[in-house]
Structure formats: structure tokens, C-alpha cells
Amino acid sequence: MSCPALYTVLLLGASGETGKQLLKQLAASKNVGKVVSLGRREVPLEGDGIHKVEQRIIDFDNMDNFQNDFKDVHKAFCTLGTTRAKAGKEGFIKVDHDYVLNAAKLLKQEGCEEFHLLTSTGSNPDSWFLYPSTKGKVEEAVKNLNFTSTYIYRPGLLICERGETRIGESILQWCFKQVDSSRNAWSIPVSKVARSMVVNSEKAQPGVHVLAHADVVETSNQ
């Protein structure tokens, strides 16, 4: 599938904090003709270009029934994710691994050539710990699908204002804001992560590209 001047992008995870920012920035991009947002529910839209956004409700547990929603996509972005505290171990693996991989498989099957995946610093399929192990395993599985271009983003602590309260994370965010607000050596606002994903999609090169935290910060400033 060749990419036209104005291309269609698909976003999974628009209800999350990074996803909200990414949806806004994709809609505002002059290179994007249409944004298809797939999720369990619709999300409020604001900003420039919202007329280009088409929200579709799908059941992630029965994704194969929604195969048509993955057609005619030039570039795809995935920011899906939950926490073990919220979903339990099995729920976390289902969302952060199974949903992500199943969506990527459908996209590849339908001819999408470019896939952008948000994971995290420390992702490692061989880790003894659930979070980095799950993130690392889904990274490897997505790489093996052989999209023309695969971009994996591994930012550090994400700085955002959440609709839900996570006490431990809130404390960490406050601490990092005090010592890391200007350099972003260990933390980064979700708006900058979204910016990095948009920038890389607009200059995408063939192959697998894994962006460490410093790389995400660098491209977010372009």
C-alpha cells in the first residue's frame, strides 16, 4: 500500500492520557486526511481538525469480528495499556499484550505498512517482573510481524494529569517535576511523547526503530 499525500491513520488507545494527546495532534496534522479511532467508547474531541476523526466502537475481546475497521489504513498507532492494580495480572497481560498483538496482526493482514507502539523504559521479554516482561514480549511479537516500518517508543515516567488517581505515581510525578522539568532526563510529558510519534511517522523509514527515552525527547523537540 503506497502512502498518499493525505493518509489515513488508525489509533488504538485514545482514551488514555498519551492517546488523547496523540489523537489531538494527529487530527491537527496537515499530512493526515483521516483519523480512525478504535475503542470501547467514544472520547471527547477538541482542537483543530476534529472533523477528520471517525470514532468506532469495537469489542477488543472479539476483535476478529471488526476486521473491516482495520482496512485501508496507511499508518497505525497503539497506546493501549492498563495496570496490574486496575486489571489484575491476567487483565494486564490481556490488554498490554494480547489486544496490542491481535490488533497489529489485523492491521498487517489488511495491508497497513507502518506501526507505532508505545511501551516503556526497561521493556525486557526475559525480565522476572510482569510489567517489563509483558512489554518486552509484545515488542518482540510486533517486530516479527515485519511491517515495512515499525517504531517502538520506550519513554521513562510519563507526566500527565490523569482522570483517575494513582497515589504512588502522583508522588513520583511531583518529584520528577521538581528535578527534571527542564531536561526530561528521566520523565516526559505525554504531549511530548505524542509529538515524537507524529514526527517519526512523518519521516518514517523502513525497518525496526526502537526509541529509548532520550530519543523520544530528542524527536519531540523537532
Of these residues, 24, 135, 137, 192, which one is catalytic? 135
| Cross-strand bridge partners of residue 53 | 35
Q: 41-77 burial string, b = 16+ CB within 10 Å, else e?
A: eeeebeeebeebbebeebebeebeebeebbeebbbbb
Asked if 135 is an active-site residue, the reply is: yes
- pLDDT for the residue 54: 97
- The number of folded domains in the chain is 1
Q: Is residue 174 part of a domain?
A: no
Where are the extended beta strands (E) located within 31-159? 32-39, 53-57, 75-78, 114-118, 149-153, 157-159
Of these residues, 71, 105, 131, 143, which one is catalytic? 131
- pLDDT for the residue 169: 47
Q: Is residue 52 part of a domain?
A: yes
Q: What is the pLDDT along the chain (222 residues), one digit of tens a residue?
A: 667 778 999 999 999 999 999 999 999 999 999 999 999 999 999 889 999 999 999 999 999 999 999 999 999 999 999 988 888 999 999 999 999 999 999 999 999 999 999 999 999 999 999 999 999 999 999 999 999 999 999 999 898 754 444 444 454 444 445 454 555 677 899 999 999 999 999 999 999 999 999 999 999 998
Q: Is residue 68 part of a domain?
A: yes
Q: Is residue 184 part of a domain?
A: no
Check which CATH number belongs to the domain holding 60 and give it.
3.40.50.720
**C-beta separation of 123 from 136 below 8 A:** yes
Q: Is residue 22 part of a domain?
A: yes
Asked if 99 is an active-site residue, the reply is: no
Q: Is residue 2 part of a domain?
A: no
Domain of 200, in residue numbers: 7-157+189-220
Q: Is residue 53 part of a domain?
A: yes
Q: Is residue 166 part of a domain?
A: no
List the Cα angle 96/149/28 in 5-degree steps.
Answer: 80
